């Protein structure tokens, strides 16, 4: 595995998985007897407390049904709206207007681009929105755009970030379903926005991966190299997506 947090062990009857975060553990697997034995073994070595079925972990709400496992961050969104005093705002149906052009701050260029008195407020907000993209791929593209202005955020950037909050209020409980339907079909979708960054003229690559009906991976990121044509940018976006598949 590419992460140090998950551990796995294969048995004749299946597999057991353990996810570690500080002093919290998630234990799951493909057979119940193996999960029970794993808990008993850990309890014999350490003092642990079994909290039962997973419902809430790292601000992610989890619910199980016959359709599969549902993951959402509704409480996280509502808390974020309360913290930013946006609970009573008017909701939006889109996170950001398509004709909005965000650029980095340049002194003396535009009077509207007034720097924020507390840039830390913007940075904290973007950090929380980045964490929210774990279950909200619908805002990934817009959050990556806003995260490019962390160094010198302006009131224009903050207004755009608050529009994302207004969009979240429109449907705070949007969720991801990890389907219980058995399928090993891997599907990948990728796209790009050519020269989308108005400062560097670099393109934005996006990809999305699904196994069966389950969404498992997604990303929106600015390409590291300037592409002279949309065709060149398309190939770069495809390369990033294929690398994720591999």
Does residue 76 contact residue 83 with C-beta atoms inside 8 Å?
A: no
Query: Integer distance in angstroms from the first to the last C-alpha of the chain?
Result: 13
pLDDT at 188: 95
- Angle between helix 155-170 and 119-132 (nearest 10): 30
Is pLDDT above 80 for 106? Answer: no
Show me where the domains of the chain are located: 6-52, 72-170, 182-245
Q: pLDDT tens for residues 68-89?
A: 999 999 999 999 999 999 999 9
| pTM, two decimal places | 0.84
**What is the per-residue pLDDT across 1-27, written as a single tens digit (0 to 9) for each?**
456 789 999 988 899 999 999 889 999
Distance CA 84, CA 172 (A): 15
Give one DSSP letter per residue of the chain, joined into a string. Answer: ---SSEEEEE-SS-EEEEEEETTEEEEEES-HHHHHHHHHHHHHHS------S--EETTEEEEEETTEEEEE-HHHHHHHHHHTT-TTSPP-SSSS-TT-------TTT-TT-PBPS-HHHHHHHHHHHHHHTTT-GGGHHHHHHHGGGSSS-BHHHHHHHHHHHHHHHHSTT-EEEEE-S----EEEEEEEETT--TTT---EEEEEEEETTEEEEEEEEE-SS--SSHHHHHHHHHHHHHHHH-
Phi/psi of residue 21, each to 5°? -135, 105
Q: State the average pLDDT over residues 185-202.
A: 85
Q: Work out the mean pLDDT of the chain and round it to a whole number.
A: 89
Task: Tell me the pLDDT tens digit for each residue of 114-164.
Answer: 888 999 999 999 999 999 999 999 999 899 989 989 999 999 999 999 999
């Amino acid at each position: 595995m590419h992460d140090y947090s998950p551990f796995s062990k294969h048995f004749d009857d299946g597999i057991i998985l353990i996810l570690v975060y500080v002093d919290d553990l998630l234990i799951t697997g493909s057979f119940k007897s193996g999960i029970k034995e794993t808990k008993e073994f850990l309890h014999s070595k350490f003092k642990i407390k079994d909290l039962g079925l997973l419902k809430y972990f790292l601000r992610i709400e989890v619910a199980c049904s016959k359709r599969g496992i549902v993951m959402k961050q509704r409480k996280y969104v509502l808390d974020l709206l309360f913290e930013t005093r946006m609970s009573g705002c008017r909701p939006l149906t889109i996170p950001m207007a398509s004709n909005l052009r965000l650029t980095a701050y340049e002194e003396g260029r535009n009077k509207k681009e007034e720097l924020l008195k507390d840039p830390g407020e913007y940075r904290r907000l973007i950090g929380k929105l980045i964490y929210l993209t774990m279950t909200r791929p619908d805002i990934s593209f817009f959050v990556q755009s806003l995260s490019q202005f962390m160094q010198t955020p302006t009131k224009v950037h903050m207004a755009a970030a608050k529009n994302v909050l207004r969009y979240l209020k429109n449907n705070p409980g949007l969720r991801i379903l990890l389907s219980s339907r058995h399928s090993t079909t891997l599907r990948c979708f990728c796209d790009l926005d050519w020269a989308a960054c108005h400062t560097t003229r670099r393109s934005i690559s996006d990809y999305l991966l699904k196994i069966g009906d389950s969404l498992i991976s997604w990303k929106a990121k600015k390409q590291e190299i300037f592409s002279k044509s949309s065709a060149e940018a398309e190939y770069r976006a495809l390369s990033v997506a294929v690398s994720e598949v591999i």
